[in-house]
Structure 1
Amino acid sequence: MLVIRDLGEIVVERGTDRCDPGGAKPRTILALLCAHAGHPVPAAALITEVWGPDAPERTQRALESQIWRLRKVLSPQGEASVITTDRAGYRLDLTAVTVDSTEFESAASAVLDRSRTHTVDDLEDVLSRWRGEPFTTASSTPTLDQARRRLHAVRAALLTRRADLLLARGDVDRALDEAQALIARDPLDEHAWSVKISALAAGGQRAEALTAYRDIRELLATKLGVDPGAEVLAAQRVVLHEHSRAVRRVRLPSQHTSFVGRDSELDEVIRLLTAVRAVAIVGIPGVGKTRLAIEAARRAADFVDDVVWYIVRRDGTDLATTILETMRIQPSADTTTAIDQVCSHLSTMSALLVLDGRHVVSAVENEECRYDVSDQPNPEDHNAIDTILERCAAVTVLAVGAPSGVDGEQVMSLHPLSIEGPADALPPAQRLLVDRIRSATGQFDVSPDDRADLDRICRAMGGLPLGVELAAARCATYALAEVADQLGTEVPEPVTRAFELAVAAMDDELFDRFLRLTALRNPFTPAIARAVCGPSIADDLEEFTRRSLLWPIRGNRYRPKRFTILRTVADHAHAGHPGRAEAGLAARDAAIIELLTATPMAVTAHSARDLARVDDDHSTVMAFLESIVTDPALLDSHIDLLERLGAYWYFRQRLADGIRVLRMASAAVAGGACGPRTAAMVELALGSALAFSQLTDDAHRHLTSHPRGTRGAHRSRRPGPEHACRPPRPGVAGGVDR
């Protein structure tokens, strides 16, 4: 029988004799017939593959000539031709010829069938048929390239199955070699990585197995932006859980209260601890960084084989020495420096080190409160942590307060607890307050009347967990309403101290820009922040976010990214520096005036886009308007600007806001301190807004409240491009009929 060996160089054998198919074209035709072995290949397809899509018409005869030569070569003694012709095209007759690639795929399908038992020898028998790159001496065509990829995928499946069987029978060295070869072929082959991780662990190389897990995690994140799949995660869990828990030591401070209000943050920290080797939790003092870190370390302990240790960084002592003393590491004669001793001790361990920030301690009302002294990376700590991570493959570091600054560190900014929530559930800040009141008093059932007092307390503390817990402690002595009244006028000293440290952590220039930002009302855009604070504010916004003084709000296709500022810290900063805060208000007013002046209020093709800019900073715009309508002198100066907003309020469906501002302006002009023109324009604008809101009786009162002479004074003014709250009519440049 004729045998065509196409897994490698194309070779044709009949018994002991070899046949030469000829040049490139006949070899390519033969390869195409092998790729479709048993199935007809149309003549047009062969011509397109071999001669190209632009082949001339006479190529049909050239193809017939090449087929005739191939038949003569394959059947030199006049045997029946293995290339048959029918209506569909040319076909290799598999009853008269054996094709290696076809036999290879058929045998591979049998041994890869997991419903039947096969051995490593069975797989090796199939793999032995592979001699190299399929169809080597044929030209490259789309069909042959596709066939080559298919055959390579089959071989990879065989190699993967062989690696699995080798690992299952305990031949970890060969399994590791197989996995490494598969990874070299496809670095993103997650199954091969899972075999490598398992083989390393089975061979007693747990640290190397965890390093392999981190390698594939970083590779997937870099190349595809995804996390490892279930196979790799399962292999990592097996590595971690197979180790005896009898030797694991967990040294974390005991906590006597429940963990409340940080479920999503806790899940995120645990996820990071299982994915990366350096994590940092940062935020203002009193926000609960240490409590979160301890709880996350406690729950992540199942992923650590040897030690979980809480270490407080101390001023005046380098980090390596602090670790030595805290973990009671015995000095080694082979090492001289503290960092070498630490690395020597941890190099063969799977460990999680919780490095808390440097603290000062303040005792107030029988409460010991710890405050972070600095949230900036310390160069000495950075070098020590970088050395530990480099030399100890299975050590993870969770930094609290101050990030280490090492490459790849994931920094999580912790913000105060939310004081807002759905009507049918307590928001996180109130949940914490209720839990701590129960701990302090023994029992506390929330009644509907208590919700308002709980909200007052949480707002007074700005959602800061330290303040919420101190307020709860007072409830052991005072009633809930009394505590709410007290905190309305007196902030507990530890909370004040926390705010002072948050402010003190900023240098003078950074603090000045923060003060300017406090003039804005939440939420605000980077654009208005840039107008108030200058072009350098872009980096500062990220820094303030990292310090948890700002909360970012993710943007979308309709709105840019925005920020909200922590009002409790802002109010504290204002109280200590009232003069410097005035500069921020002046800059805010100038920025809003420029924004409103530059925004076209008439109907144009870009009206929605233009007015959306005002929408993005609507809260700050309203703060500015409220400040001018209560001051007669400012109202006289900016009455034209106020009038221009009529179209904005109408088109953006904010007439309620416009009516509120205009009512305030109407109250201001009622005292007679404003000029008659201002008074008439306010009443006309307010009446128009009320009319468009279908409050006709109220609108009529305002529209007829001034004598004819006063209205005439207004009417004689030069018409502007917009007017009052009436929308522009199509084809009319002004806002209303005059």
Structure 2
Amino acid sequence: MDDASLDLMAARKLGARARVLAGQGDSAGAVTSYVQALDLWQGRCCAGLESAARANSAFAAVDREAAVMTCDAADAALRARQARMVLPALWKAVGRDPLDEALHARLLLCLAENGRQAEALTTYDVLRRRLAEELGIDPGAELVSAHQRVLRQQSSSRPSSPDARSEEHTTGGPAAPAVRPAQLPPDLPFFAGRRHELALLDELLTGHDEHATVTVAVDGMPGVGKSTLAVRWAHQAAEHFPDGQLFLDLRGFTADEAPVSQADALRSLLSGLGVPSHAVPADIDARIGLYRTMLAGRRVLVVLDNARDARQAAALLPAAPGCAGIVTSRTKLTGLVVQGARMMTVELPTLQEARQSLRARLGAARVDAEPSAVETIIACCGRLPLAMAVAGARAQGSPRFSLTSIADELRAGWDELDAIVADDPRSNVRRVFSWSYQALRPEAGRLFRLLSLHNGTDISTAAAASLAGLQIRQTRESLGELTRGHLLVERFPGRFGCHDLIRAYAAALADEVEPAAERAAAVARLISHYQHTAYLARQWLSPELTAGSPPAPHDGVAVAAIPDYESAIRTLATISSAVAIQVRDSSHRPE
């Protein structure tokens, strides 16, 4: 008897022992015997013979015996949680039979059990393509079942038979995934109001076909409460997403920290879904593919907070039916909207909601006892939730102080931001504004500073161009950037304004950065703009007017045409109001 025959007999003897041990419930002992048996298999039976001789049915039966024993070994290893021990034998077996679905099904489960989910999913994709290209068929039920188990992180069992899958279906489906992320931050205990916004999110994200994937891009000015709103809604809607909730701060606008890279964000999200770090692919496209695969067949809510732009967030959003995504940002994420996301802009709360938030934080009795002081606090904070939270925390930490004294602190001085400070940079209004300002291009940053020199309620594009001494086209670009970042708001077509606290922040920057001569020159250009614009408007009212024309406009002054009589009336009213406010506020502003 030759050596090959002796190896075969020894392998069969070890295999028989392994089956006995498995029948006795000793899966670990069975794995040891199976591995010893499979180590004796040295490639295909009679591999050195001519191809015609190797086709003998007896030789094929021996090869099949090896494949069956490898499957039995993998099943025992999965039960014993010793998948690592049989992986070498599985790889050799699929090398011999690259289209054997039963072997590949065990390989997928053993790879996943060994923490190599990404490799398992890639192996499945490779075999699926080979089956289609070489045989023109789709994967069979056993292989598909193993693939689904890997996706659901249920690898610690043998592949399901058709009967077992039928039983799963009739008893309510497979067990819940091993990892169910629950990453939402705590809900704010002092949350108040926002009923309209919460109802709108309900309608957009849960009132849709369960087979659709929906994303909402939430934008708004710094400190308006975008993140707080998203987290509140996510907690309320958690029951609609039974497979979990992922949360990631993308640090798009954060002090001393760079925005989270797409690669790092995908690693964090995959970790939340249970993928171990060593199983995360190095290639970015592979990470995206694995992330989407992990979400397939599940109902997961993904909350991406503080996105820098649409490009940072796009690949992180779920694509699987039944999942949903919500992204918050200070900038309008129009790139996501182009790809099908819904857009929602968070505005300032109403006066009633502002009162409710203070009552929630300070108690009804204390707030109702000093209504005048409460109105002053709200006015000084401009109804901005972050500012009111800081002022409320100040009052909350000083229960013996009257609210009138808190209101006096806020009202004191020109720059109200001096009274709205907090130790945490994320709650410091000035710092929060600075993160948006630092993201601006230099041209937009300069315009932002100079706009604080105009004290009207809003300003036209031509007046803004005159302040900065820029061409209209350049000014439009910067105004667009400031508007997208919610440092300005376009209140009417072509007319821009901003929140009082943002204006105060811009004024402090102008005093700090812009030389006095440049500030004076900007105001002179603005006045020259108003003089020439008013003269053009008066000509519509009195066409015969020739006297009293203003001197030649300063360099850099832009004057827009006035197309008709009605526009002339509106222009004169606007200029009159703006000049009056400019004179009044300039006289009160300290030098």
TM-score between the two structures when normalised by the length of structure 2: 0.52
CA deviation digits over 1:647-677, x for unaligned, max 9? Answer: xxxxxxxxxxxxxxxxxxxxxxxxxxxxxxx
> One-letter code of the match for 2:361?
R
Contact 1:417–1:463 (CA under 8 A) maintained in structure 2? yes
Other-structure match for 1:548 = 486
CA deviation digits over 1:488-522, x for unaligned, max 9? Answer: 34423312222332322323211111123223311
Contact 1:518–1:584 (CA under 8 A) maintained in structure 2? no
Structure 2 vs 1, CA of residues 562 and 434 (structure 1 numbering), >3 Å: closer, same or farther?
farther
3-state SS, counterpart of residue 459 of structure 2: coil
Q: Which residue of the other structure, out of 430, 438, 444, is the alignment partner of 1:496?
A: 430
Other-structure match for 2:198 = 266
Report the CA distance between 1:527 and its aligned residue: 4.7
Contact 2:450–2:510 (CA under 8 A) maintained in structure 1? no
Q: For residues 271 and 617 of structure 1, what CA distance do their matches in structure 2 show?
A: 43
Q: Which residue of the other structure, out of 449, 463, 466, is the alignment partner of 1:515?
A: 449
Contact 2:223–2:385 (CA under 8 A) maintained in structure 1? yes
Structure 2 vs 1, CA of residues 611 and 567 (structure 1 numbering), >3 Å: closer, same or farther?
same
Other-structure match for 2:293 = 344
Q: Which residue of the other structure, out of 228, 239, 257, is the alignment partner of 2:189?
A: 257
* Greater mean deviation of Cα atoms: 242-251 or 427-436: 242-251
Contact 1:515–1:584 (CA under 8 A) maintained in structure 2? no
Q: For residues 538 and 349 of structure 1, what CA distance do their matches in structure 2 show?
A: 45
Q: Which residue of the other structure, out of 429, 449, 459, is the alignment partner of 2:379?
A: 459
Other-structure match for 1:295 = 232
Report the CA distance between 1:319 and its aligned residue: 1.2
CA deviation digits over 1:676-732, x for unaligned, max 9? Answer: xxxxxxxxxxxxxxxxxxxxxxxxxxxxxxxxxxxxxxxxxxxxxxxxxxxxxxxxx
Alignment of 1:85-96 (within 5 A): none
Other-structure match for 1:384 = 315
Contact 2:349–2:383 (CA under 8 A) maintained in structure 1? yes
Q: For residues 525 and 175 of structure 2, what CA distance do their matches in structure 1 show?
A: 61
Structure 2 vs 1, CA of residues 278 and 288 (structure 1 numbering), >3 Å: closer, same or farther?
same
Q: For residues 616 and 267 of structure 1, what CA distance do their matches in structure 2 show?
A: 38
Other-structure match for 1:306 = 243
Contact 2:534–2:571 (CA under 8 A) maintained in structure 1? no
Q: Which residue of the other structure, out of 560, 579, 583, is the alignment partner of 1:621?
A: 579
Q: Which residue of the other structure, out of 526, 530, 548, is the alignment partner of 1:588?
A: 526
Structure 2 vs 1, CA of residues 382 and 427 (structure 1 numbering), >3 Å: closer, same or farther?
closer
Report the CA distance between 1:620 and its aligned residue: 1.9
Report the CA distance between 1:483 and its aligned residue: 0.8
Alignment of 1:6-17 (within 5 A): none
Structure 2 vs 1, CA of residues 484 and 412 (structure 1 numbering), >3 Å: closer, same or farther?
same
Q: For residues 376 and 329 of structure 2, what CA distance do their matches in structure 1 show?
A: 29
Q: Which residue of the other structure, out of 399, 402, 405, is the alignment partner of 2:327?
A: 399
Q: Which residue of the other structure, out of 464, 484, 491, is the alignment partner of 1:529?
A: 464
Other-structure match for 2:498 = 565
Contact 1:313–1:322 (CA under 8 A) maintained in structure 2? no
Contact 1:413–1:548 (CA under 8 A) maintained in structure 2? no
Alignment of 1:221-300 (within 5 A): 251-274=183-206, 277-300=214-237
> One-letter code of the match for 2:479?
L
Contact 2:459–2:497 (CA under 8 A) maintained in structure 1? yes
Structure 2 vs 1, CA of residues 628 and 348 (structure 1 numbering), >3 Å: closer, same or farther?
closer
Other-structure match for 1:433 = 358
3-state SS, counterpart of residue 456 of structure 1: helix
> One-letter code of the match for 1:384?
A
Structure 2 vs 1, CA of residues 325 and 451 (structure 1 numbering), >3 Å: closer, same or farther?
same
Q: For residues 408 and 280 of structure 2, what CA distance do their matches in structure 1 show?
A: 64
Contact 1:260–1:431 (CA under 8 A) maintained in structure 2? yes
Q: Does 1:325 align with 2:271?
A: yes
Report the CA distance between 1:302 and its aligned residue: 5.2
Other-structure match for 2:394 = 474
Report the CA distance between 1:618 and its aligned residue: 5.0
Contact 2:271–2:277 (CA under 8 A) maintained in structure 1? no
Alignment of 1:416-427 (within 5 A): 416-418=348-350, 426-427=351-352
Q: For residues 321 and 378 of structure 1, what CA distance do their matches in structure 2 show?
A: 19
Contact 1:415–1:551 (CA under 8 A) maintained in structure 2? no
Other-structure match for 1:446 = 368
> One-letter code of the match for 2:409?
Q
Structure 2 vs 1, CA of residues 402 and 626 (structure 1 numbering), >3 Å: closer, same or farther?
closer
Alignment of 1:149-228 (within 5 A): none
Report the CA distance between 1:245 and its aligned residue: 13
Contact 1:592–1:624 (CA under 8 A) maintained in structure 2? no
> One-letter code of the match for 1:280?
A
Moved over 6 A (4+): 242-249, 331-336, 627-630
Report the CA distance between 1:436 and its aligned residue: 1.6
Instruction: Name structure 1 gaps, 5 residues minimum.
Output: 1-241, 358-374, 419-425, 631-738
Report the CA distance between 1:429 and its aligned residue: 2.7
Structure 2 vs 1, CA of residues 587 and 260 (structure 1 numbering), >3 Å: closer, same or farther?
farther
Q: For residues 576 and 298 of structure 2, what CA distance do their matches in structure 1 show?
A: 55
Other-structure match for 2:408 = 485
Q: Structure with the greater relative contact order (CA < 8 A, sep ≥ 6): 1 or 2? A: 2
* Greater mean deviation of Cα atoms: 285-294 or 584-593: 584-593
Other-structure match for 1:125 = none
> One-letter code of the match for 1:572?
Y
Contact 1:310–1:355 (CA under 8 A) maintained in structure 2? yes
> One-letter code of the match for 1:482?
S
Instruction: Name structure 2 gaps, 5 residues minimum.
Output: 1-171, 252-259, 413-417, 422-427, 544-563
Contact 2:250–2:304 (CA under 8 A) maintained in structure 1? yes
Report the CA distance between 1:627 and its aligned residue: 7.6
Contact 2:248–2:265 (CA under 8 A) maintained in structure 1? no
Q: For residues 592 and 330 of structure 1, what CA distance do their matches in structure 2 show?
A: 65
> One-letter code of the match for 1:492?
I
Greater C-alpha Rg? 1
3-state SS, counterpart of residue 278 of structure 1: strand
Structure 2 vs 1, CA of residues 413 and 619 (structure 1 numbering), >3 Å: closer, same or farther?
farther
* Greater mean deviation of Cα atoms: 603-612 or 291-300: 603-612
Contact 1:414–1:548 (CA under 8 A) maintained in structure 2? no
3-state SS, counterpart of residue 366 of structure 2: coil
Q: For residues 521 and 347 of structure 2, what CA distance do their matches in structure 1 show?
A: 27
Structure 2 vs 1, CA of residues 565 and 331 (structure 1 numbering), >3 Å: closer, same or farther?
closer
Q: For residues 527 and 252 of structure 1, what CA distance do their matches in structure 2 show?
A: 46
> One-letter code of the match for 2:296?
S
Q: For residues 270 and 581 of structure 1, what CA distance do their matches in structure 2 show?
A: 48
> One-letter code of the match for 1:596?
A
Q: For residues 617 and 352 of structure 1, what CA distance do their matches in structure 2 show?
A: 50
Q: Does 1:574 align with 2:496?
A: no
Alignment of 1:66-145 (within 5 A): none
Q: For residues 224 and 567 of structure 2, what CA distance do their matches in structure 1 show?
A: 39
Other-structure match for 1:356 = 305
Q: For residues 523 and 367 of structure 2, what CA distance do their matches in structure 1 show?
A: 44
Report the CA distance between 1:293 and its aligned residue: 0.8
Q: For residues 435 and 574 of structure 2, what CA distance do their matches in structure 1 show?
A: 32
Contact 1:503–1:511 (CA under 8 A) maintained in structure 2? yes
Report the CA distance between 1:294 and its aligned residue: 0.8
Q: For residues 371 and 323 of structure 2, what CA distance do their matches in structure 1 show?
A: 46
Residue identity (%): 23
Report the CA distance between 1:587 and its aligned residue: 3.0
Report the CA distance between 1:628 and its aligned residue: 9.6
Q: For residues 406 and 441 of structure 2, what CA distance do their matches in structure 1 show?
A: 35
3-state SS, counterpart of residue 368 of structure 2: coil
Alignment of 1:666-677 (within 5 A): none
Q: For residues 190 and 433 of structure 2, what CA distance do their matches in structure 1 show?
A: 25
